[in-house]
Amino acid sequence: MKPFEYARATGPAEAVRDYTPGTMYLGGGTNLVDLMKLGVAEPDRLLDVSRLPLDGIEEARDRVRVGATVRNTDLAAHPLIRARYPMLARAVLTGASGQVRNVATVAGNLLQRTRCTYFQDVTRPCNKRRPGSGCPAIAGDHANLAILGASDACVATHPSDLAVALAALDAEVHVTGPGGDRIVPMPGLHRLPGHEPERDTVLAPGDLITGVELPPPPPGASLYRKVRERASFAFALVSIAAVLDVAADGTVADCRIALGGVAHVPWRAERAERALIGGPATGEAFLQAAEAELEQAAPLPRNAYKVPLARNLIVATLEELAP
């Protein structure tokens, strides 16, 4: 582990001002410190933002603002979240373990890095960790990697459950940085790997996430479901966050579907949504929509199971949500 300095930020603006290349913001450290021990992250300096006064969950008219340093446990347990966004609470609770969630922050969760095994091992090549070194996952171990939106350079997935729920809820990520304040709408925070797999997100150096804003809960019923071979404490093979609103005449008034475990980003299934809205809320329509979405899938030999898995999951979840 490379020696580093540690400092505690005094405020969001101060943190950004204090940022220098080589600095990394520190949240709960549950991902970053692991990666430092592995030699994957080698900051010169950690700027601890976990104690910034960004730990509130507040109502602002019909919206809810969640601070960046709110711990995952507190987010999932908060009455406002449980009452209005139960799907979000459920997504958070399916992540990691109680101990990890007690420490992990909202911002840190969104910015956690891929669990691709090569990425985590500095003795092996990886384009994301060492640009240009190659992507051994494509010929090797990719059983839990991407089927959608991957590139020849990288087939990693983003592992967060929280991000998938936020993508379905059209949440906004609030960012402050050297370039000023801005709002990044989900799922736009994360980017596809393309030729620059080293860049997970659209954030620029020094950008600090200050919070997440949730628009009013969409009408209809919602659900988060996560698939894994172990009953708890495992990353998703595939997960789904879905909202379905069916009108009185049986047609789909509104629909949001986001998938986890399938791409470098929380994958908003826009094709499926478009196919469904205005049409009948039937099992057949759900299947056609799922297939329309997954037509774009480009699976590898060992993750091809994710295509039927995602398809089944979309159909079963929408069926469960349909009245």
- Binding-site member from 9, 16, 87, 111 for ligand FAD (CB under 6 A): 111
- Rounded to a whole number of angstroms, the minimum distance from the CB of residue 68 to other proteins is 24
Torsions phi, psi of 79, nearest 5? -60, -40
Interaction of residue 235 with ligand SF4, rule CB under 6 A = no
- Taking the C-alpha atoms of residue 112 and residue 115, their distance in angstroms, rounded to an integer, is 9
Tokens describing residue 117: 């095994």
Task: Considering only the stretches 94-102, 248-256, 282-290, 313-321, report the one whose residues sit in contact with ligand FAD under the rule CB under 6 A.
Answer: 94-102
Q: Which does 23 bind (CB under 5 to 8 A by kind): ligand SF4, ligand FAD, other proteins, none?
A: none
| 159 interacts with ligand FAD by CB under 6 A | yes
> How deeply is 229 buried, as exposed, middle or buried, from its count of CB atoms within 10 A (0-12, 13-18, 19+)?
exposed
DSSP labels, 210-246: EEEEEPSPPSSEEEEEEE-SSSSS---SEEEEEEEEE
Residue 104 binding ligand FAD, by CB under 6 A: yes
Least separation in angstroms between CB 124 and other proteins: 6
- Tell me the sheet residues that pair with 268: 258
Identify whether the C-beta of residue 159 lies closer than 8 Å to the C-beta of residue 137: no
**Judged by CB under 6 A, does residue 201 bind ligand SF4?**
no
The binder of ligand FAD chosen from 126, 153, 154, 209 (CB under 6 A): 209
Number of H helices, E strands in the chain: 11, 12
Handedness of CA 10, 16, 19, 25 (dihedral sign): positive
- Residue 217 touches ligand SF4, criterion: CB under 6 A: no
Tokens of 196: 């620059």
Residue 232 CB, shortest distance to other proteins, in Å, is: 4
Task: State the angle between helix axes of 283-294 and 306-321 in degrees (0 to 180), rounded to the nearest 10.
Answer: 150
Residue 49 binding: pick among ligand SF4, other proteins, ligand FAD, none (C-beta 5-8 Å cut-off by kind) = ligand FAD
Q: What is the pattern of x (binds ligand SF4, CB under 6 A) and - over residues 129-158?
A: ------xxx-------x--------xxx--
The Cα angle at residue 241 between residues 50 and 262, in degrees rounded to 5:
85
Question: Which residues 71-130 are close enough to bind ligand SF4 by CB under 6 A?
Answer: 114, 116, 118-119, 126-128
Contact positions toward other proteins, by CB under 8 A?
A: 1, 39, 115, 117-118, 121, 123-124, 136, 139-141, 143, 227-234, 237-238, 302-305, 308-309, 312-313, 315-316
